[in-house]
A and B are shown apart, each in its own frame.
Chain A
């Protein structure tokens, strides 16, 4: 299919085009899934995206992407959320791809980008470790050069989709003498390499989406190191910007509000002024989140770069959504501990899954406490 110049298209026309495709092609039973779907659930859908040429909306066209500007990419994501399109195991597309395109050698790009785009390589991210969570730079997984291979030892954790992944990109320490952030490299690893053990971790929803990954004398080619040795931290950090705005989208909360409203009516809570005051406050918080999101989105759509103050979006979006799920449990009353689709007078609503899903949102991607540290230092200019 001839690559199209999407950025020449009017924003609204592009939005309708994307919306139309999702409506026509996305499987109805996978809309608004209660938790992260596995590759087995989403691979047919992913194949459709590949055939359409839409598998990597943010990648440049020369590598098979749609070549969308940040503004258009935002519209694409907004439409995904609006239709309830599930994320596929997309670490390779969202996180690794842009990093390779920016920092990898031509040979590495040719080796890894096309199969990743086609869904032949499924990637997982090896950043966090059992003893390196918020303090990620203290990570201990070590990679020692042995002729033309790195020998990797240690363990990674909270690795989403590790069970589905064919490959992993990791941050590993390659210089123990250097300062914390300065001795870390970015390496690619084949999950079939001997010495890798994956232990799935059951989460609070009772499903296994992430895992602990043990690396015991795992050998990976030295030419699979991306960028320069000991520059891994800087590279990984350089790509966080866009993440912060997509994580700050109000869609999840807006959908949650509709679910809550069904319960509020069903429970007759509209007659309870004490409840209604807090409910209205929450609705206003969601509305103001949407206003804040559109303010940053407008900057992106105009081609401006986002400053460090975009961290407020992650905080507001995730904490508002958490409070929403909490108020939903409260409104549910006795049904607030019933799993699956809990029956109310008029509807059956899954109230526990969103409550659980809201928990890690304030932890991953730099916990909200870390975001507050960043804001205090980089935006409010407070001393350390």
Chain B
């Protein structure tokens, strides 16, 4: 993209400054396989930079900007491999609350979410995963939640927005961490972060905790998931761009048979094919942001287009980067593996390429020639 085309240059520059000042690959390595798996001080910095509130309206203490601005920040942020849960908390979880219909709860929580004091997580998927937010077995009955949630990230949140099925259809409840009957187990993810497996046994809830109910709950969940899905595409774009840069640089300096390996045509064409996948990812994301800003009705279709391309491209660039690096690419000391692992996590999260191809086919049946 030419510089003139990018209206978010300042936001991107701010992330570049953050990358130089507040994080490093060393930090990313140190946080792997630790609890909670990210640095609360860095989260505070991120909040001070305003990124946690980009999509939260100004009346709730956010910046009131849109997906375009969030995408610019997330793409650059993802290049740093920082484990802080910016998209999961600030887009997915905050979105489910924001798109809900409990004004008092929004007023109570959103300013804290924007300022970084409250770290929320959306607990919407269950044992089998899947991307249908209405496939809910967890029950909300008699003022209590019973059921289980899986793939919750961040696992160590200050509170969870839990989807449940009630007499009145789908519902989303805000449940504080440490509530009686709520327990969290952990599952390790490929990139050294961890997600939560939440068990809800007779967790008492009151109406004030009901973030969304009925049709609004279903729509709020779907919209938050679709928005976060497009944003995961932006993160994947950042990861694959950086992985490709690193791999191209390696091709320029690694000498075998007396020449840089980047001079070999077999590898050049392979690199070009990876570059093309990155460019296609950029194209579909760019188009999705333009089109959904003009007309939000196609959000789900665009989310599936973005995620299927970016998941597959991110995985392919990650895998082939290992191959092009040769033996060192398989060594943990080499950074390229970190990019593959993050691509694996982002690819699987919110539905991988195959899942979104199926959804695309269901949402947009092909039209035959007239």
Taking Cβ atoms with an 8 Å cutoff, the residues of A that contact B are: 257-259, 261-262, 264-265, 276-277, 279-281, 283-284, 287-289, 291-292, 294-295, 299, 304, 309, 312, 315-316, 347, 369, 372-373, 375-376, 379-384
Closest Cβ of chain B: how far from A384's Cβ, in Å? 6
Contacts A299-B5, A309-B279 known; A257 to B248 CB distance under 8 Å? Answer: no
A380 touches B271 (CB 8 A): yes
B248 contacts A288, C-beta separation under 8 Å: no
Contact B272 A284 (CB under 8 A): no
Residue of A283, A299, A316, A347 touching B366 (CB-CB under 8 A) = A283
Q: Known interface pairs A312-B275, A372-B269, A380-B248. Does A280 touch B360 (Cβ–Cβ under 8 Å)?
A: yes
State whether the Cβ of B368 lies closer than 8 Å to any Cβ in chain A.
Answer: yes
Contact with A along B270-291 (1 / 0, CB 8 A): 0111011001101110110000
Distance A279 CA – B271 CA, assembled complex (angstroms): 26
B282: chain A residues at CB < 8 Å are 295
CB nearest neighbor in A for B312: A281
Interface residue? B305 (CB, 8 A): yes
**Chain A residues positioned under 8 Å from B2 (CB to CB):** 299, 304
With A261-B366, A373-B265 in contact, do A284 and B260 touch (Cβ < 8 Å)? no
Known contacts A261-B368, A292-B283, A375-B272; A287 and B305 CB within 8 A of each other: yes
B368 contact set on A, CB distance < 8 A = 258, 261-262, 265
Q: Which residues of A contact B286 (CB under 8 A)?
A: 291, 295
Q: A299-B5, A376-B269, A382-B251 are in contact. Are A288 and B366 (CB under 8 A)?
A: no
Tell me which residues from 68 to 111 in chain B have a Cβ below 8 Å from any Cβ of chain A: none
A149 to B294, CA, bound (A): 62
Q: Is the CB of A281 within 8 A of B366?
A: no
A-B contact sample (9 more), CB < 8 A, given A277-B354, A291-B284, A376-B271: A261-B366, A261-B368, A277-B358, A284-B305, A291-B287, A292-B283, A309-B279, A369-B269, A380-B272
Complexed CA–CA distance, A328 and B263 (Å)? 37
Bound Cα distance from A287 to B305, whole angstroms: 8
Option from B260, B272, B305 in Cβ contact (under 8 Å) with A383: B260
Instruction: Give which listed residue, A277, A304, A369, A383, contacts B4 with CB less than 8 A.
Output: A304
Q: Is the beta-carbon distance between A284 and B357 smaller than 8 angstroms?
A: yes
Residues of A within 8 A of B370 (CB): 258
Is B133 located at the chain interface by the 8 A CB criterion? no
Interface status of B177 (Cβ within 8 A of chain A): no
A380 close to B275 (CB less than 8 A): yes
**A288: which B residues are within 8 A, CB to CB?**
280, 283-284, 305, 309
Q: Given known contacts A257-B366, A284-B357, A383-B262, is B283 in contact with A373 (CB within 8 Å)?
A: no
Residues of B within 8 A of A283 (CB): 360-361, 366
CB of B367 within 8 Å of the partner chain? yes
Q: Which residues of B contact A315 (CB under 8 A)?
A: 272, 276
A81–B282 CA distance with the chains assembled, in angstroms: 26
Cβ of B268 within 8 Å of any chain A Cβ, yes or no, is: yes
- Whether the Cβ atoms of B283 and A281 lie closer than 8 Å is no
Contact between B276 and A280, CB atoms less than 8 A apart: no
Cα–Cα, bound, A115→B235 (Å): 56
Say if the beta carbon of B252 comes within 8 Å of chain A: yes
Chain B contacts of A312 at CB under 8 A? 275-276, 279
Q: Give every chain B residue within 8 A of A381 (Cβ-Cβ).
A: 248, 252
User: From residue A256, how far is it (CB to closest CB) to chain B in Å?
Assistant: 10
Give the docked Cα–Cα distance between A289 and B251 (Å).
28
- The CA of A295 and the CA of B305, in the complex, are separated in Å by 16
Q: Within 8 Å of chain A (Cβ to Cβ): is B369? A: yes
Q: Report B-chain residues with C-beta under 8 Å of the C-beta of A280.
A: 357-358, 360-361
Check B369 against A382 for contact (C-beta < 8 Å). no
Q: Which chain B residues border A380 with CB–CB below 8 Å? A: 248, 268, 271-272, 275
List of A residues within 8 angstroms of B280 by Cβ: 288-289, 291-292, 316
Q: Does B222 contact A (CB under 8 A)?
A: no
Partner of B279, one of A257, A292, A299, A369: A292
Interface string of B317-354 (1 = CB under 8 A from A): 00000000000000000000000000000000000001
